[in-house]
Amino acid sequence: MARIIVYRLITTYSYQIFMKRTGLFFLFTILSLSFVLAQNAQDSLWIVQNYEKKEIFITMRDGVRLFTSIYLPKDTTEEHPILMVRTPYSCAPYGEDKWRSFWNSIHRYYMHEGYIMVSQDVRGRWMSEGEFMDVRPFNPSKKHITDIDEASDTYDAIDWLVKNLPNNNGRVGVWGISYPGFYSTMAALCGHPALKAVSPQAPVTDWFIGDDWHHNGTFFQMDAFSFYSRFGYHRPRTSNQSSRASSYPPSDNYEFFLETATLSDLAAMMDDSITFWKQMYQHPNYDTWWKARNVRNFVDQIPDNTATLVVGGLFDAEDCYGAWSTYEAIEKKAKNDNKLVMGPWSHGQWATRDGSKLGNIEFGSNTAFWYQNEIEIPFFNYYLKDKGSLRSLPEATIFFTGDNQWREFDQWPPLNKMDKPIYLLPGGKLGWIKPTATGNFTEYISQPAKPVPYTEDVHFNRTTSYMNDDQRFAARRPDVLVFESEELTEDLTLGGTVIADLLVSISSTDADFVVKLIDVFPETFDYGSENPNRSGKPSYPMGSYQMLVRGEIMQGKYRKSFENPIPFEPGKIEQVKFELPDVAHTFQKEHRIMIQIQSSWFPLADRNPQKFMNIYEASENDFQNASIRIYHEALNSSRIILPVMN
Cα–Cα distance for residue pair 392/21, rounded to 1 Å: 37
Measured from the Cβ of residue 614, the count of other Cβ atoms closer than 10 Å reads: 11
Q: Are residues 330 and 278 in the same domain?
A: no
Summarised one tens digit per residue, pLDDT across range 584-624 is 999 999 999 999 999 999 999 999 999 999 999 999 999 99
153: in domain = yes
Asked which of 257, 289, 321 is the last residue of a domain, the reply is 289
Q: Which amino acid is at 644?
A: V
Q: Are residues 512 and 630 in the same domain?
A: yes
Bridge pairing between strands 80-87 and 195-201: unpaired
Closest CA to 145 of 59, 58, 237: 59
Q: Are residues 127 and 89 in the same domain?
A: yes
Exposure letters 19-40 (e unless 16+ CB within 10 A, then b): bbeeeebeeeeeeeeeeeeeee
Contact 481, 446 (CB under 8 A): no
Closest CA to 198 of 174, 162, 181: 174
Cα–Cα distance for residue pair 393/411, rounded to 1 Å: 12
Q: Are residues 390 and 439 in the same domain?
A: no
Q: What is the pLDDT of residue 7?
A: 43
Q: Are residues 386 and 422 in the same domain?
A: no
Enter the pTM of the model. Answer: 0.92
Confidence of residue 106 (pLDDT cuts 50, 70, 90): confident
Burial of 240 (0-12, 13-18, 19+ CB in 10 A): exposed
Confidence of residue 83 (pLDDT cuts 50, 70, 90): very high
> Which own/partner contact pairs does 426-434 have at CB distance under 8 Å and 24+ positions apart?
426/632, 428/481, 428/482, 428/483, 428/484, 429/483, 429/484, 429/485, 430/483, 430/484, 430/485, 430/593, 430/594, 430/595, 431/485, 431/486, 434/634, 434/637, 434/639
Contact 2, 407 (CB under 8 A): yes
Q: Are residues 500 and 622 in the same domain?
A: yes
Domain that holds residue 60: 2-206+296-409
Cα–Cα distance for residue pair 476/74, rounded to 1 Å: 62
What average pLDDT does the segment 106-119 reach?
93
Q: What is the pLDDT of residue 521?
A: 98
State how many domains the chain has.
3
Element (H, E) at 226: helix 221-231
Say which CATH number the domain at 273 has. Answer: 1.10.3020
What's the first-to-final CA gap in the chain, in angstroms?
A: 10
538: in domain = yes
For the chain, the average pLDDT equals 90
Q: What is the pLDDT of residue 530?
A: 46
Asked which of 356, 381, 409 is the last residue of a domain, the reply is 409
What average pLDDT does the segment 3-21 reach?
41
Contact 618, 264 (CB under 8 A): yes
Cα–Cα distance for residue pair 30/563, rounded to 1 Å: 56
Summarised one tens digit per residue, pLDDT across range 473-532 is 999 999 999 999 999 999 999 999 999 999 999 999 999 999 999 999 999 876 654 444
Q: Are residues 513 and 443 in the same domain?
A: yes
| 9 has a pLDDT exceeding 50 | no
Closest CA to 100 of 79, 118, 127, 76: 118
Q: What is the pLDDT of residue 390?
A: 72
Say which CATH number the domain at 363 has. Answer: 3.40.50.1820
608: in domain = yes
54: in domain = yes
Summarised one tens digit per residue, pLDDT across range 33-68 is 454 555 565 677 888 899 999 999 999 999 999 999
Percent of the chain at pLDDT > 70 equals: 88
Asked which of 409, 437, 468 is the last residue of a domain, the reply is 409
Higher-scoring residue by pLDDT: 535, 445: 445
Q: Are residues 145 and 17 in the same domain?
A: yes
Closest CA to 211 of 151, 280, 261: 280
Closest CA to 350 of 403, 407, 312: 312
Q: What is the pLDDT of residue 15?
A: 34
| 454 has a pLDDT exceeding 50 | yes
Measured from the Cβ of residue 244, the count of other Cβ atoms closer than 10 Å reads: 12
Confidence of residue 350 (pLDDT cuts 50, 70, 90): very high
DSSP letters for 22-63: TT-HHHHHHHHHHHHHHHHHHHHHHHHHHEEEEEEEEEPTTS
238: in domain = no
Least confident of 25-39, 43-57, 80-94, 571-585: 25-39
Bridge pairing between strands 80-87 and 116-121: parallel
Confidence of residue 3 (pLDDT cuts 50, 70, 90): low
Bridge pairing between strands 214-215 and 574-587: unpaired
607: in domain = yes
Confidence of residue 384 (pLDDT cuts 50, 70, 90): very high
| 323 has a pLDDT exceeding 60 | yes
Q: What is the pLDDT of residue 646?
A: 87
Summarised one tens digit per residue, pLDDT across range 458-475 is 998 899 999 999 999 999
Q: Are residues 429 and 533 in the same domain?
A: yes
Residue 574 phi, psi (nearest 5): -135, 155
Half-sphere exposure of 155 (CA within 13 A, CB side): 16
> Which own/partner contact pairs does 430-437 have at CB distance under 8 Å and 24+ positions apart?
430/483, 430/484, 430/485, 430/593, 430/594, 430/595, 431/485, 431/486, 434/634, 434/637, 434/639, 435/632, 435/633, 435/634, 435/637, 436/634, 437/633, 437/634
369: in domain = yes
Cα–Cα distance for residue pair 331/397, rounded to 1 Å: 15
Least confident of 26-40, 418-432, 456-470: 26-40
Q: Are residues 441 and 536 in the same domain?
A: yes
Say which CATH number the domain at 512 has. Answer: 2.60.120.260
Contact 584, 399 (CB under 8 A): yes
Q: What angle do CA 110, 116, 121 make, to 5 degrees?
A: 105
Q: Say if residue 236 is preceded by a cis peptide, omega within 30 of 0.
A: no
178: in domain = yes
Q: Are residues 198 and 224 in the same domain?
A: no
Q: Are residues 22 and 48 in the same domain?
A: yes
